[in-house]
Amino acid sequence: MRVALINPMFRLPIDTRTTPHMGLAYLAAVSERRGDEVRIYDADIEEQPLADFLREFRPHLVGITANTPQVMQAWCTATAVKHELDVPVVLGGPHVSVTPEDLDFESLRQPAVDMVVRGEGEGPWVEILDRVESFLCDQPSFTSRALMDPAHVIFRDVLGLSYKTADGELHRNADAVPLTDLDGLPWPAYHLFKMDRYTNLQPATDAVDGSRSFSILTSRGCPYRCTFCSQSIMPIKWRARSPESVLAEWSHLVKERGALEIGVLDDSANIRKPRLHQLSDLLIANGLNHVPWIFVNGIRANLADLDLLKKLKAAGLKRTAFGVETGDPEMIVRVNKHEDHDTIRQAFRNAKLAGIETIGFFIIGLPGDTRDSMQRTIDFAIEIDPMIANFSMMTPYPGTMVYEEVKRNGRFLMKSWEDYVFFDQKARYEMGDLTAELTEEMYRRAYRQFYWRPKYILRTVRRKDFWLNFGRNARLAWRTVVPRKEKTELRRAMEASV
């Protein structure tokens, strides 16, 4: 079958990176293993109009991915697909997987959306392909209406699927069982992406030309449940690949794809430390440690001892992030972090001793935050002094505990799902004494106080990468100052894209 997978346009309001979509890369890989002809249309980097792509490729099935700020664009894309072809359209991704809020049904109510896959997609996606294919064999003159006819019950037992029959009825099947054998998955199908059009992993910091940066997933899920974190896709059960399986893919990325840097995208890569020791030993033994790599999303501070970090450094780890979230001792308990500030201090000390660059993720405006607690977050960021401090204003994603709390006791300030980006300098909710003005003031103060320190400026201008990247950094700083104009341009580009 011919299968198209689409990432709807959603560039961030500031100029950050674009990377191949790993979820689509995995779905493409399992489709190819099934024998399908697959194409990926990534609207963020594509020059060909979508209509031309569809007319040329004429897929039998279209899959579209959607996180929360992207979902409205996903609906527009679905409409554009149906305008060109009568073909079943499936949506998947973090937004449509939030069932407590009926967000699968919200998408199914869009006329152009036929099916929604909730959670990890590989299993349900292959099931859908199998069933559409057998239906196609019997029905040479195929219509999506016939496929979704309530008289056929072909999707009734596909786990993890919500769907709409042609009579308009919405159905939600039981959840799919999380994948257990991650080693059994094929590698993400990077060969289907126009790799030369993507940026490097952290373009504001590193001056590596695009196209040669790859991501890898060595584990899935996270056993923790922080109150602000959107965990609609990955189940609470943490599952890992074997070090040997990771090594094989890593080696392929370096030797066959010429990777110049690798980003490990795991939510919590260091849950089982011996696994990382083994992986590091293998990378060193196989001479792969010359390619720098980064823990993009942060590792747990409570599991980052000096011994492990030194080993990771020897294996090529250049930089790691840690989710610090808050500098206030009461707030860190309230967000369910299961870490204390001494542990976090020690993790940053260990990383620095091991020679690893650090990123700290901080949240301004958590429920319960006050001027004093937010100031403690800024002070703590200055104290632990990471190479990059990333402050974001609390954005309550549906399905999180913070979202429930704001729904009960506060007031959302977002007008549509598109506003759920957090580089926009706008507070997303108000609750009690935590007003939008206060959150925005403290957010600006956080950046000012952290980045405008003479010590920090001196350290930064001494970095070679800073000068190599000067033009881009200046542009980025400018866009952070004038986000509104940027957002209008973004919206115009998005509207023009479908």
Strand-pairing partners, residue 161, are 117
93 binds, among ligand B12, ligand SF4, none (CB under 5 to 8 A by kind): ligand B12
CB of 267 to ligand SF4, least distance (A): 4
Quick one: which of 93, 235, 323, 399 contacts ligand SF4 (CB under 6 A)? 323
Question: Within a 10 A sphere around the Cβ of 359, how many other Cβ atoms?
Answer: 23
- Which of 350, 439 has the CB closer to ligand B12? 439
- Which of 55, 225 has the CB closer to ligand SF4? 225
Q: Counting Cβ atoms within 10 Å, is residue 121 exposed (0-12), middle (13-18) or buried (19+)?
A: buried
CB of 297 to ligand SF4, least distance (A): 7
What are the distances in angstroms from CA 209 to CA 52, 297, 320, 461? 30, 21, 20, 20
- Which of 179, 401 has the CB closer to ligand SF4? 401
How many residues touch ligand SF4 (CB under 6 A)?
9
CB of 94 to ligand B12, least distance (A): 4
CB of 77 to ligand SF4, least distance (A): 28
- Which of 10, 295 has the CB closer to ligand SF4? 295
Residue 262 phi, psi dihedral angles, 5° rounding: -130, 135
Structure tokens at 154: 């072909």
Which residues contact ligand B12 by CB under 6 A? Answer: 10, 12, 17, 19, 21-23, 26-27, 63-65, 67-70, 90, 92-95, 117, 120-122, 125, 217, 229-231, 233-234, 265, 267, 297, 397, 421-423
Pairing of strands 2-7, 61-65: parallel
Question: Within a 10 A sphere around the Cβ of 425, how many other Cβ atoms?
Answer: 18
CB of 5 to ligand B12, least distance (A): 7
Do 316 and 354 touch, CB atoms closer than 8 A? no
- Which of 223, 355 has the CB closer to ligand SF4? 223
Report the first-to-last Cα separation within the chain, whole angstroms: 25
- Which of 217, 276 has the CB closer to ligand B12? 217
The yes or no reply on residue 339 touching ligand SF4 (CB under 6 A) is no
Please give the full DSSP string across 165-232, using - where no structure is assigned.
-TTS-EEEPPPPPPP--GGGSPPP-GGGS-GGGS--SSTTT----TTSEEEE-SEE--S---TT---S
Contacting ligand SF4 within 217-256 (CB under 6 A): 222, 224-226, 229, 231
426 binds, among ligand SF4, ligand B12, none (CB under 5 to 8 A by kind): none
Rounded to whole angstroms, how far apart are CA atoms 124 and 379?
47
Q: Round the CA-based radius of gyration of the chain to a whole number and report it.
A: 23
Which chain residues interact with ligand SF4 by CB under 6 A?
222, 224-226, 229, 231, 267-268, 323
